[in-house]
Amino acid sequence: MNDLARLPQMIAAQDWAGAAHLLRRVAAHPGAPAQVHYNLAKVLEAQGEGAQMLPWLHRAVQRDPSYALAWFEIGRAEIAAGDLSAAAVAFARAWALDPRDDDAVRNLMRVALRLGDWAQARQAARALPQSDAEALAARYRCACELGEAAEDLRARLLADPQIRPVALKALTRVAKGSLPLRLG
């Protein structure tokens, strides 16, 4: 594993082929750490071979199930592969392992919205700052979809002219055929 000393220079030089070759060789050793598999996945992505990331990321979390960064990248790779359910599981795991990872929470919220998992989307949206326009819109949308009172959330969305496009998108998503505003 001493071969890894050359890896930073390869990455700095963007020698992705060389870095991939080196990391594959080290990853072939039974005791290779999770970081080797993770780094190989990231090098493959940089090389334009993102479709090959998932097996290496899964090997990383098999070696270290608490590797939050690898879980996050699994979520990204699953979105690219079109498996939103698997992406939601991965982002939820990344968030559980690193509760301060707003990117994991935001991606979980977005995927849950796309899946129509209103409870999970709301839970993630509530974990983001109250001032976050996207999270506010998600909380509003979830409340509407769950049949809950949402007047206060709608009023907050409409009160800030800076987030008007986000507000209008959320309002029309839950409008169910009628515009929830009076124009004019």
pLDDT tens sequence across 3-60: 788 999 999 999 999 999 999 999 999 999 999 999 999 999 999 998 899 999 999 9
pLDDT at 96 over 80: yes
Confidence (pLDDT) at 159: 92
Tokens 């080196």 correspond to 22
Residue 111: pLDDT band with limits 50, 70, 90: very high
In this structure, the chain runs to a length of 184
The predicted-structure confidence for 123-135, as pLDDT tens digits, reads as follows 999 999 989 999 9
Enumerate the domain spans of the chain: 1-49
Cβ-based neighbour number of residue 48 at 10 Å: 8
Apex CA 152: angle with CA 115 and CA 177, to 5°? 55
Q: What is the pTM of this model?
A: 0.89
Minimal CA–CA distance to 140: which of 166, 161, 178?
166
Cα separation of 102 and 59, whole Å? 25
